[in-house]
Amino acid sequence: MRDLGPIDPQDAGRTVTHLLRWMSALLPATASAYLALPDEVDVTGLFDSLPGWRWVLPRLEEDGSMTFRDRDVPREIHALGMSQPGASGVVTPLHEIDLFLVPGLAFDARGGRLGRGSGHFDRLLARRGSQSLAVGVTTMAHVVDEVPIGPHDQRVDWLATDKGVTECFPRSGPSRR
């Protein structure tokens, strides 16, 4: 893999926020975002820029599963170091989420995603509703020619970078839409 070099996740986050706004006319209003780690694109700017959308955030449970809670639930730091909603609040069922914003270490044009190795997002995307969309969020510096895909890896439908939003083609492998 090539050297991806330094990125400014905040600048990329502002650009991706601007580029994803066009999706608001295409989608219902329940979306899952994430709370970015230092090397990920910050998408929290979308919360206030898309009025009427309901935003939920993932919570990694003790059993390794992921649940979703409203973005306003008080946050805590998980043992792995990421910020997440606390255990209070109502869990949003997976089938109610129309859009999943997904971070990654690298992506390719076919929607391949390199995560951090734990498979949490792959298990989540495998169970999502058939009409939902998964959007990989990154910078062009993190788009590579090909991400190795295993049998359990899930592809994203769209890729949002600091250079634009593109649909991933060809769709193959486990991802669905």
3 lies in some domain:
no
Q: What is the pLDDT of residue 146?
A: 95
**Domain CATH number, residue 50:** 3.40.50.10420
146 lies in some domain:
yes
175 lies in some domain:
no
Q: How many domains does the chain have?
A: 1
Whether the pLDDT of residue 2 is over 50: the answer is: no
57 lies in some domain:
yes
2 lies in some domain:
no
121 lies in some domain:
yes
φ/ψ bin of 23: left (φ > 0), alpha (ψ from -120 to 50), beta (otherwise) = alpha
Beta strands in 16-149 (DSSP E): 30-32, 54-60, 66-70, 75-77, 83-85, 99-102, 106-107, 113-114, 133-137
Place of tokens 């999502």: 128
Answer whether 43's CB lies under 8 Å from 16's CB: yes
Whether the pLDDT of residue 11 is over 50: the answer is: yes
Q: Tens of pLDDT along 70-117?
A: 999 899 998 877 899 999 889 999 999 999 999 999 999 999 999 887
Rounded Cα distance, 42 and 33, in Å: 9
Answer whether 144's CB lies under 8 Å from 136's CB: no
Answer whether 154's CB lies under 8 Å from 134's CB: yes
Whether the pLDDT of residue 5 is over 70: the answer is: no
Range of the domain at 131: 9-167
Residues composing the chain: 177
116 lies in some domain:
yes
Q: What single letter denotes the amino acid at residue 32?
A: S
176 lies in some domain:
no
Q: What is the pLDDT of residue 58?
A: 93
Rounded Cα distance, 91 and 58, in Å: 10
